[in-house]
Chain A
């Protein structure tokens, strides 16, 4: 028996007519495929969006580090100069700058309110460090800072960056897992619908066997019917899903992560793969169910 008969895909108008056109399995397959494809669009959007977020956070935070200098009043400037000298001679650093008091006040304003009397607070001095493509060795820099400026502490953001990136990566995998589960659930439901259709049409199958129809011919008639229905349902579901995603608020309107859930650029093309994948799932599920059932007949 051939593994893949092209007539199963290309269609045969005469063969398709041997299967009665109506029945609840038709609506069930159409609805299941549409609903699953609608959900698949969201899972795909989640996966792509979290992938983008993980990449952005990973890149942006990995490039920037901060050195905090806490020292007694008389030593602050001297330690700042020492840190600057260390940074100037450290490979892997693209640039650095001491954050001015005014900018520091701006950063603190959301927490401490406007009109902050910075002079009265023992605030540490902050130096923003931007690394180049090679990057610097944080452990080596810490050792040199400890030797030249004991009050300087390097914060390379790794400590709090890693869980965020891991969470975003986790969400991306969750999205992909959801896609796999949706595909599996769709295959299961279409298999059940196909089995119901085959059982309901058992007499037709027996007649076809009696007049000399081969198993691939009978399976093909059912498989094509279910593949077309699943493909059509997926087209509708994916279309509705895309419209729903497009109607979500843009990520520039509120700036939060959730409003960034959607597609960007070529990402909008990815849902176009859902209908053919759904049709392929239906094809394999129905064909397998049909051949299994036919194998049990004499």
Chain B
């Protein structure tokens, strides 16, 4: 689904932040990406959903070379990748329900009312549908971001430090939703430095833990 072949990335004229990264995310797999702050976790995720293009190597999404995609192709491809950020950003003048439906709205597709209702129910935000995003708590915002990420029924879910701003109880709740998505056949990749979260996930689902260190990707040891 996502393949990175000998990918490297450097910002401006600085040294390489990432180098020689080779990674294949198989359909239905569950990956964690860990490493110290500033190691390049977010950059690697951005390379995966084509917000950044590699300075070296190639990224293939659904079998298509990302460097050969036009801006419109990238936009279309993002409809098939759900992304959740730590600082989940919304359009603050639109309601929670409208924000969740946004991926369909921007592609001029109709928003099935029942699907939206079910999704709000699934993430536990049925009563907050009409509220504006600034009125939500941190955990509610993360769940709303997850609901928005899966609105188009993507095959890949990428989450960048999704539990960074929420308490442990809410983190487990969010993890439960991601595990549920993985059991439905979705490919999930989560960047986090929260080892407890990784251990909690390993007790529920088969996971693969990757670590970025000194710009290179390695498989984490059994200690996790």
Total contacting residues, chain A, CB less than 8 A: 24
Q: Is the C-beta of B187 less than 8 angstroms from some C-beta in chain A? A: no
Total contacting residues, chain B, CB less than 8 A: 26
Are A212's CB and B51's CB within 8 A? no
Which A residue's beta carbon lies closest to that of B78?
A212
Which A residue's beta carbon lies closest to that of B70?
A1
Cα distance A15–B52 in the bound complex, in angstroms: 26
Which A residue's beta carbon lies closest to that of B90?
A207
Q: Is the C-beta of B148 less than 8 angstroms from some C-beta in chain A? A: yes
Which A residue's beta carbon lies closest to that of B149?
A211
**Chain A residues with CB under 8 A of B34:** none
Please report the number of residue pairs spanning A and B whose Cβ atoms sit closer than 8 angstroms. 67
**Chain A residues with CB under 8 A of B91:** 18, 20, 204, 207
Question: In chain A, residues 200-255, which have Cβ atoms closer than 8 Å to a Cβ of chain B?
Answer: 203-204, 206-215, 217
Cα distance A55–B98 in the bound complex, in angstroms: 62
Cα distance A49–B205 in the bound complex, in angstroms: 83
Nearest CB in chain B: distance from A101 CB, A = 86
Are A215's CB and B93's CB within 8 A? no
Q: Is the C-beta of A134 less than 8 angstroms from some C-beta in chain B? A: no
**Chain B residues with CB under 8 A of A208:** 102, 106
The interface of chain B, by Cβ under 8 A from chain A, is: 51-53, 70-72, 75-79, 83, 89-91, 93-94, 98, 102-103, 105-108, 148, 152
Are A18's CB and B94's CB within 8 A? yes
Are A207's CB and B89's CB within 8 A? yes
Q: Is the C-beta of A109 less than 8 angstroms from some C-beta in chain B? A: no
Nearest CB in chain A: distance from B119 CB, A = 14
Kindly identify which residue among B70, B71, B103 contacts A211, using a CB–CB cutoff of 8 Å.
Answer: B103
Are A211's CB and B102's CB within 8 A? yes
29 of the cross-chain contacts (CB-CB < 8 Å) are: A1-B71, A1-B72, A14-B108, A18-B94, A18-B102, A18-B105, A20-B91, A20-B93, A21-B93, A204-B91, A207-B89, A207-B90, A207-B102, A208-B102, A208-B106, A211-B102, A211-B103, A211-B106, A211-B148, A212-B78, A212-B107, A212-B152, A213-B106, A217-B108, A294-B71, A295-B71, A298-B51, A298-B52, A298-B53
Are A206's CB and B89's CB within 8 A? yes
Are A17's CB and B52's CB within 8 A? no
Nearest CB in chain B: distance from A205 CB, A = 10
Nearest CB in chain B: distance from A111 CB, A = 75
**Chain A residues with CB under 8 A of B52:** 298
Nearest CB in chain A: distance from B137 CB, A = 20
Given A18-B94, A207-B91, are A214 and B75 also a contact pair (CB < 8 Å)? yes
